[in-house]
A = this chain, B = another copy of it.
Amino acid sequence: MLAVGSGGKHLEEELRKLGGDLVGIEIKKFPDGEKYVCVSGSPREATVVQSTFAPQDEHIVELLLIADALRENGAEKLRAVVPYLAYSRQDRVTKNGEPVSVRAIMKTLGVYYDELYVFDIHNPGTLRFFPGKAVNLSPAKAMAEYFGERLGDGIVLAPDKGALGRAKAVAEKLGLEYSHFEKERISPTEVRMKPVDVDVAGRNVLIVDDIISTGGTMIRAANLLKDMGAEKVFVAATHGVFAEGAIERVGKAVDELAVTNTIPTPVSKISVVPEIVKL
């Protein structure tokens, strides 16, 4: 049985279409700002689908309230599917006095949930903070299906070496070449990006990343590829955490921009729902 919170509403229709068995949930906000939740049905096992984009903290608290209601109604096993996990980039102490914020969220979800499923988390190592079973799902298959035909015999690139695994996963599904950008210091103050060991001239390129926020890196990478003679440049990311105006800026710099629907945006054209219903 699936229970869908406010952060999963945009996936509800497709979840139902693909055969998901949904529990009804009433969710409202009291005039003072407190959330109210009421679930219909008392499944012994339930999967709560709730992405935690903005307002992040409301979506997080809702996950707890829904779980409390399900437990109250007799649920013995609860799984949280959190396609986009808020605070996942706050994954280490970079300055003394900071929290590892994603740890706080993981530990909190562990109070009620036995299992946690996320998509393409920024730092998979942080899954160890969740006390139960935690799984990092991949949108690579969906990305490959979406861009495969358009890409032809093109190349899949990661914006940096750390993200290479993501590009590799997409490329391998399509039997394509893959590589990554690296930074080259050309003067004490200037850094240039360049793709490593591939010739992009005359070929289509797909750049794959986990999160796009300002889109600055993607725009620089796309411009560089065009300068190097690339044919078409596509950009795919799992989570579209777009800053104001970023969709337009990236959209202008590339031939197509598409992200998954872990966060609902105007360019969330790649669906992770098939992976969710498989669980």
Contact = CB atoms under 8 A, between A and B. Distances in A.
Interface of A: 26, 31-41, 54-58, 60-61, 64-69, 72-73, 86-87, 89-90, 93, 95-101, 103-105, 107-108, 110-112, 213, 241, 243-244
A93 B111 contact: no
Contacts of A69: 97-99
A57 B57 CA distance: 5
B99 A68 contact: yes
22 contacts: A31-B243, A31-B244, A34-B56, A35-B57, A36-B90, A36-B101, A55-B57, A56-B61, A57-B60, A61-B104, A64-B105, A65-B99, A65-B104, A67-B104, A68-B100, A68-B101, A72-B98, A72-B99, A72-B100, A73-B96, A107-B111, A108-B108
B38 A243 contact: no
Given A32-B243, A57-B61, A108-B108, 7 more contacts: A31-B213, A34-B90, A37-B99, A64-B108, A65-B99, A73-B97, A104-B112
Contacts of A86: 34
Contact of A93 (B40, B72, B105, B108): B72
Contacts of A41: 97
Contacts of A96: 73
A64 B65 CA distance: 16
Contacts of A67: 99, 104
Contacts of A97: 26, 38-41, 69, 73
A95 B55 CA distance: 27
Contacts of A95: 38
Contacts of A55: 33, 57
A195 B61 CA distance: 41
Nearest to A242: B32
Contacts of A110: 111
Contacts of A87: 34
